[in-house]
A and B are shown apart, each in its own frame.
Chain A
Amino acid sequence: MNDRSIYPLSQPVKGAGGKTGSWRTAKPVIDLEKCSGCLLCWLFCPEGCIGKNDRSIDYAYCKGCGICGAECPKKAIVMVKEEQR
């Protein structure tokens, strides 16, 4: 990507708001054994941080909002408090 701007034109890129994973105070941890694969977490994640196929979580950008944990019908996602950085 060319970082020089001649026109006020932005290019789509991951992490346009920075490494937003650093905003997190609690991180979602998924237990794949409990997961039924309903994909509600994937659909409700505001960041699109949860993989559709393997339900892997992109911690570099996950902001820790906790919606995936609150909406999981199998309670397979729990929010764990982040260690002090």
Chain B
Amino acid sequence: MSISIKDLPDFEYVLPGSAACAGCPSAIALRMVGKALGENAIMLMTPSCAVASIGPLPKSCYSIPVLNVCFASAGASAAGLAMALDALYEKGRLTGEKPTIFNWAGDGGTYDIGFQGISAAAERNDDFIHFCYNNEAYSNTGMQRSGATPIYAATTTTPLGKEVHRKNLPLLMLEHRVPYVATASLAYPTDLIRKVKKAKDIRGFKYIEIHAPCYTGWKFPSSDTVKMSRLAVQTGSWLLWEAEFGKVVLNSPTSLLAAEKIKPAPLEEYIGKQGRYAHLADSPQKEEILAAMEKEIRRELKFMAARAEL
């Protein structure tokens, strides 16, 4: 299934003049998701930048029905909505195509605070898509560290750099044995839209994580949002893969990196542009730390390539 940008619909999820920062990756990702899912959809949001972007009552920048639910409840709320709709269709109170139900949560609402609800919904195989737009910190409240913050990255609560590794949540979701899990990146829009369309047609729990570089939190110019997404993939810091019913397939260019057909982009090019790694620039252990980061990237690549063999 190949996707042409020219054939995408005009329909927008995010209307111009939202309250999001200029260059917000969540708004870009949500516009792309909207072009894949279409108008017949219901979105649930946990507290995040995407909620702050809605704007003050009684105005909303989103053109589809949106429910704001509490932080820990993304999984439970979407599951309840999906079951309620199923019941109404069964009784004949609703007819026509069932709307696509999806969560739009940040990494805080997925990795940390929302995890138990999502894990339970995945285990029950409830019928909705959970999107995590991963900006690697609690950006909405001022860039505190989250479970998705990579090691050595400085945040307001880890001013000298985070000391522990991030979780590999897409892999955790995969091992819940759900029908569909995928990772995506803003810089590869056709790949992202293809994955969302595929998830729409599968019944059961779907998990899609979109890497979303946040320029205010990571401290780089707003115009480089997409460039930073691309560098994350090209350096191997963010891996693109999808798994239907547990069978992992690496997507290009991650598959080429894993097969060593292309060389990864220099890691310094990626982290050197981000203010959150600025403390590394004049650190006496700079070389050691860079080598450790590269080693970790190779480990993750090798691990996912081996997981794809299963």
Q: Which residues of A contact B (CB under 8 A)?
A: 1, 3-5, 8-20, 23-24, 37-40, 42-49, 52, 58, 60-61, 63-67, 69-71, 79
Contact = CB atoms under 8 A, between A and B. Distances in A.
Contacts of B54: 10, 16
Given A10-B57, A16-B55, 16 more contacts: A12-B61, A13-B61, A16-B17, A16-B59, A16-B61, A17-B17, A18-B19, A37-B6, A38-B5, A46-B27, A48-B12, A63-B21, A63-B23, A67-B226, A71-B226, A71-B227
A70 B222 CA distance: 10
Nearest to A26: B223
Interface of B: 5-6, 8, 10, 12, 14-25, 27-28, 31-32, 53-64, 186, 189, 221-227
26 contacts: A1-B58, A10-B54, A10-B58, A10-B59, A11-B60, A12-B15, A12-B63, A13-B60, A13-B61, A14-B17, A17-B55, A17-B61, A19-B17, A20-B19, A37-B6, A46-B23, A46-B28, A46-B31, A48-B31, A60-B17, A63-B21, A66-B221, A67-B226, A71-B226, A71-B227, A79-B223
Q: Is chain B's interface secondary structure helix, strand, loop, or mixed overall?
A: loop
B223 A11 contact: no
A72 B115 CA distance: 38
Contacts of A9: 58
Nearest to B223: A66
Contacts of A49: 16
A61 B17 contact: yes
Contacts of A48: 12, 14-16, 31
A61 B22 CA distance: 10
Contacts of A17: 17-20, 53, 55, 61
Contacts of B6: 37, 39
Contact of A65 (B15, B22, B31): B22
6 residue pairs, one from A and one from B, having the closest CB atoms: A16-B55, A66-B223, A65-B23, A17-B19, A63-B22, A15-B17
A33 B152 CA distance: 46
A58 B16 contact: yes
A14 to B, nearest CB: 5
A20 B17 contact: yes
The listed residue with most A CB atoms (<10 A of its CB), out of B14, B19, B22, B56, is B22
A45 B189 CA distance: 12
Contact of B225 (A14, A24, A37, A65): A65
A70 B17 contact: no
Contact of A14 (B16, B22, B56, B224): B16
B61 to A, nearest CB: 4
Contacts of B23: 46, 63, 65-67
Contacts of A67: 23, 28, 222-223, 225-226
A12 B62 contact: yes
Contacts of A14: 15-17
A12 B39 CA distance: 13
The listed residue with most A CB atoms (<10 A of its CB), out of B8, B23, B186, is B23
A52 B23 CA distance: 19
B19 to A, nearest CB: 3
